[in-house]
A and B are shown apart, each in its own frame.
Chain A
Amino acid sequence: MNFLSLIWLIFLPVIAAIIIMFPQFPNHQVIVRRSAKWFASFHFIYALLFLAFFDTSLFGMSYEKELTFFGMSWLKSLGISAKFAVDGIALLLVVLTTFIVLITLFISKIHIRSKHKLYYAMVFLLESSVLGILCAKDMFLFFVFWELSLIPIYFLVSQWGNSEARRAAIKFTITSFVANMFLFFGMLILYYYNFAVSNVLTANIESLNMDEKIYPLWFQVTVFINFLIGFMLRIPFVPFHNWYPDIQSKAAAPVNILMSGIILNTGLYGLIRFNMQVFPEIFKLFAPVLMIWGLVNIIYAGALSICQQGIKKMVSYANISAAGFIMVGLGCLNQTGFNGAIFTAIACAIVYSALFVVISSIQFRTKTTYITALGGLGQVMPKCMYLALIICFCAIGLPFLMMFTPKLMVLTGAMLSNLDQQLMVKIAAITGLCAIAVSAGYIMYFFYKVFCSVLLDQWKKIKDLSPQETSVLSVLCLVIIYFGIYPMSIIQIYQSVSSIILDVLQV
């Protein structure tokens, strides 16, 4: 399979962005949009080919490739090289990323009314940087893409959002830079401590593994906490979550989908790659704390979700709340919980992106997102209502829909977990079970307020979904139903990898 090169996969969007930004490229919106869609479709199929040829029984990384410049590695004298490789988890997220970008481009038509060239170039740049984060095999390469992703986010939020978007974007960018500095600091001291211990100057993530080397405990804890702060901001987690609803309520609708679909996953991926794989001992130490933290996240963000006035903020808080399940799953330290956590992340990305697609159609027609100004839209938009119903049921976690299996796995994992503080973990699992009821509360409250109550006069003339929106939402619903019925088709892809990770962590 020589034609499957990760370097092409990562840098094709950059090339596409450069071609679109070229002065000779026609500045006509239809041409720009269509060529972007064609490219994204091609890219998605290319990513699917990686999945098709992927050997699921393989325990390590595959598709390894190094980027060289005329035969020279990048920063070889510092022990840093531009190596890319994927394992099962990363590959799933890669395919998910290309899929979400494709979905986003299909609904961009009605929301993006100006600066088409810049918009599509920035979406592709964001896609490329996220793919780079997922495939990077080197710590500093990871960080390069991690910082690079902030630049397109800033432009996407500030240029096409509402009047307050600029302020929200700058706030997010600055807080991210501060958190990134913690990350960077952790990486730097890890890099040099590793050099001091093993006398090899390297930043390769696999060779930084802590289990074979002797590091002082305080050092591990320091680096672990630095990493944790950097990644928690992206997931987002409760003390650092403020930026997420803020940005989501102000950005344009396609950007909402990108944020919930691809940006949040990068935080989770970093957590697994670094905190879990590089510091298994410390992760074991912190696991109960993370679990409780996840529960606090579920309940606190869920409660906030019900209090919101805008539907975008409501769904964003719901998203944060659902991300709490990921942490509970990771904290179980067993196969069931871990697999459930990864599945939760993927399901969250698809379900909440779908919810943002629904919101985007509503926002486009009514020009408002305030919950008091909406109501009874189900009477004029029946297609939208039925599709949204499936998505909402999925978000709650009803059986045969995508979110059911992961939540079940996470809670089973928590019950089966044999951590030191057994009683506490069991209590946590039971609390999590109750938390599902909370999630049913806010999701159904959202659905009821938007689609079911009394129809206001000014909305009587709005039209139902266009064929394009219907097809996008139907595809998403089909995905939700398919993976609800055959969850193993996702789980088997990363099962071997997760068993490797868990072998190290197993108590």
Chain B
Amino acid sequence: MSEVLSAQIAQIAGAYFPELIITLFIIFNLIAGQFFSTYLYKLSKWFTILGIVLALCSTFYLQIEPEAYAFNDTFLTNIYTVFFKILILISGFCLTLLSRNMIREKRDRAFEYFAVFLSGILFAMCVVSSVDFISLFVSLEALGLSCYLLLSLNKNPDAKQLTFGYIIQNAVVSSLFLMGLSLIYGMCAQTNFDLISLYFSQNQPQILLTFAMILMLCTFLFKLGLVPFSSWLPDTFEGASHPIGAYMSLIPVLAGFGILSRILLIFLNYTFTIKIVLASIAVLTILFGSLSAIRQENLKRLMAYSMSVQSGIMLLGLCVFSVYSLSSVLFYLFCYVIATIGAWSAIILLYNSAKLEKLDDLKGVIYHRPYYVIAFTTILIALAGLAPTCGFAAKLYIFSAVARSGFIFLPFLIAALVCCVIMIYGYWRIIRALFRRIETQIEIDTRVISSKFILYACALATVFACLFADKIIQLCQLAAYYM
């Protein structure tokens, strides 16, 4: 009896141990919220950090060789998903530390906030692990729901109006996804990814498949902020509180790219034109996002467009679709996570000390905080993809993957390279403002050790990730190979 039990436990631990731990801590947070309320509000943060750290440790116990399935083959664990889960958990850890000031203002809702926060992370991990359309849809919806709840925490009426667009559009896009799913089910009566590919490899795919695929892709274009569906980004980010803006630019992007590559794997064999369509979408996103970014005055709006541009670059790498290009996308995501967390922590430091969020407010900071300025500049250089940081290695890798894939993609490559220069100017405006010498009264509050620590750690990490890029790339290639 005990042997059966231990075998079952080993199976559970092998397949979804981190998810289980995060779920437990969501429950802890909810229960603790009933008892501890406002006085011990800080406990919520420590619960969350403990949960995420335990989940990170538990990823070492996951069974990755051979791959582990769970829940009737709808949930998969292998190196590829573990890679994404680690990235999601690391960004969750940093975002928890960055939420410090926000929960100080909303002490009565701290436990609630972290419960929703953790459930977003949980469902993002579930999205990455899904190998079935039903479980994917449920996880995606739950992830969206967590995002709504986090966005609606901001009590400002303007903010409500700004974030409402996201909620409506997300609902529309989800229904499109469901429609595509129903079409596919109608064709092959399957929801499992492997079975669907098997079906289409044996039967001639119909034109309806392309239609279903386009409907499904809409969801991902929306979540990743790609071009026809990117209009929600700036408004939502402006309406959201800062840590939630950071959350929105990391967790859905990681989940989206994690599953998008898996879905493209099913479909790309049957139609080549979709590659061209996706490449055009990527280039248009980079162009549109960078042209909009260079006009922005609000740092949050600028970060929103930055996210859009970075997803565009990653989509360009993804639509080529080879093991090589997939590993380049994974490496790019890794660098994107480091640089984005760093940039948001710098913006949050500025906001926490003086409630400022405009680009012009950065002028004169160099007088008081030269090292803040240097760290922020390093991170912006990484986002722009320039030389001594991991951004350059990532860009080199992803563009070389595109160049390798054949001459059809070369026009897109040139267009993307030129558009990236526009975005460099977008980041350059921040650097220029940082180095302006104007007498101001702004004092960046450096008593907040955690945000400062994250800022400097990310700045160092961008440089070191460039020097030791080879090791990380090997890891990414391994993960991509296992998908």
Q: Closest B residue to A166 by CB, please name it.
A: B432
B-side contacts of A421, CB under 8 Å: none
Known: A144-B387, A148-B387, A188-B400. A174 touches B425 (CB 8 A): yes
- In the complex, A442 Cα to B443 Cα: how many Å? 53
Q: Closest A residue to B405 by CB, please name it.
A: A192
A173 partner, pick from B396, B400, B428, beta carbons under 8 A: B428
Known: A75-B469, A77-B474, A147-B386. A170 touches B432 (CB 8 A): yes
A-side contacts of B387, CB under 8 Å: 144-145, 147-148, 151
Residue A69, interface by CB 8 Å: yes
- CB atoms of A178 and B371 under 8 A apart: no
B-side contacts of A72, CB under 8 Å: 468, 470-471
**Whole-angstrom distance between the Cβ of B25 and the nearest chain A Cβ:** 37
A-side contacts of B404, CB under 8 Å: 192, 195
- In the complex, A145 Cα to B432 Cα: how many Å? 22
B-side contacts of A75, CB under 8 Å: 393, 469-470, 473
Q: Closest B residue to A21 by CB, please name it.
A: B374
Residue B147, interface by CB 8 Å: no
Could you tell me how many residues of chain A have their Cβ less than 8 Å away from some Cβ of chain B? Answer: 33
B-side contacts of A177, CB under 8 Å: 421, 424
A-side contacts of B417, CB under 8 Å: 181, 184-185
Residue B477, interface by CB 8 Å: yes
Q: Mark A206-245, 1 if CB is under 8 A from B, else 0.
A: 0000000000000000000000000000000000000000
- CB atoms of B473 and A77 under 8 A apart: yes
- In the complex, A145 Cα to B388 Cα: how many Å? 8
Q: Which residues of A (59-107) have their CB < 8 Å from a CB of B?
A: 69, 72-78
Q: Closest A residue to B422 by CB, please name it.
A: A174
Q: Which residues of A (166-184) have their CB < 8 Å from a CB of B?
A: 166, 170, 173-174, 177-178, 181, 184
Q: Mark B411-429, 1 if CB is under 8 A from A, else 0.
A: 0011001101100110010
A188 partner, pick from B399, B420, B428, beta carbons under 8 A: B399
Residue A467, interface by CB 8 Å: no
- CB atoms of B413 and A188 under 8 A apart: yes
- CB atoms of A78 and B397 under 8 A apart: yes
B-side contacts of A74, CB under 8 Å: 467, 469-470
B470 partner, pick from A21, A77, A140, A144, beta carbons under 8 A: A77
- In the complex, A197 Cα to B90 Cα: how many Å? 42
Q: Mark B265-303, 1 if CB is under 8 A from A, else 0.
A: 000000000000000000000000000000000000000
- In the complex, A170 Cα to B421 Cα: how many Å? 12
- In the complex, A398 Cα to B410 Cα: how many Å? 51
Interface residues of B toward A: which range? 20 to 34
B414 partner, pick from A73, A147, A158, A185, beta carbons under 8 A: A185
A-side contacts of B421, CB under 8 Å: 174, 177-178, 181
A-side contacts of B414, CB under 8 Å: 185
A-side contacts of B471, CB under 8 Å: 72
Residue B381, interface by CB 8 Å: yes
A-side contacts of B381, CB under 8 Å: 151
Residue B403, interface by CB 8 Å: yes
B-side contacts of A174, CB under 8 Å: 421, 424-425
- In the complex, A21 Cα to B428 Cα: how many Å? 22
Interface SS, A side:
helix
Residue A159, interface by CB 8 Å: yes
Residue A191, interface by CB 8 Å: yes
- CB atoms of B473 and A170 under 8 A apart: no
Residue A483, interface by CB 8 Å: no
- CB atoms of B403 and A191 under 8 A apart: yes
Q: Which residues of B (367-413) have their CB < 8 Å from a CB of A?
A: 371, 374, 381, 386-388, 392-393, 396-397, 399-400, 403-404, 410, 413
**Whole-angstrom distance between the Cβ of A199 and the nearest chain B Cβ:** 13
**Whole-angstrom distance between the Cβ of A7 and the nearest chain B Cβ:** 13
A147 partner, pick from B392, B393, B400, B425, beta carbons under 8 A: B392
B-side contacts of A147, CB under 8 Å: 386-387, 392
- CB atoms of B424 and A69 under 8 A apart: no
Residue B200, interface by CB 8 Å: no
Q: Closest A residue to B421 by CB, please name it.
A: A177
- In the complex, A144 Cα to B395 Cα: how many Å? 12
Residue A58, interface by CB 8 Å: no
A-side contacts of B424, CB under 8 Å: 174, 177
Q: Closest B residue to A188 by CB, please name it.
A: B403
Q: Closest A residue to B371 by CB, please name it.
A: A23
Q: Mark B440-483, 1 if CB is under 8 A from A, else 0.
A: 00000000000000000000000000011111011001000000
- In the complex, A75 Cα to B468 Cα: how many Å? 8
Q: Closest B residue to A132 by CB, please name it.
A: B387
- In the complex, A185 Cα to B414 Cα: how many Å? 7
- In the complex, A151 Cα to B392 Cα: how many Å? 14
Q: Closest A residue to B328 by CB, please name it.
A: A78
A-side contacts of B399, CB under 8 Å: 184, 188
- CB atoms of B403 and A189 under 8 A apart: yes
Residue B28, interface by CB 8 Å: no
A77 partner, pick from B374, B392, B410, B477, beta carbons under 8 A: B477
- Chain A to chain B: the 4 pairs with minimum beta-carbon distance, closest first: A148-B387, A188-B403, A181-B417, A147-B387
19 contacts between A and B (CB under 8 A): A21-B374, A72-B468, A72-B471, A73-B470, A74-B467, A77-B474, A144-B388, A145-B387, A147-B387, A147-B392, A155-B435, A170-B425, A181-B418, A181-B420, A184-B417, A188-B399, A188-B403, A188-B413, A189-B410
Residues of A within 8 A of B (CB): 21, 23, 69, 72-78, 140, 144-145, 147-148, 151, 155, 158-159, 166, 170, 173-174, 177-178, 181, 184-185, 188-189, 191-192, 195
Extra 10 A-B pairs, beta carbons < 8 Å, given A170-B425, A181-B421: A23-B371, A72-B471, A73-B470, A77-B477, A144-B392, A147-B387, A151-B386, A174-B424, A177-B424, A192-B403
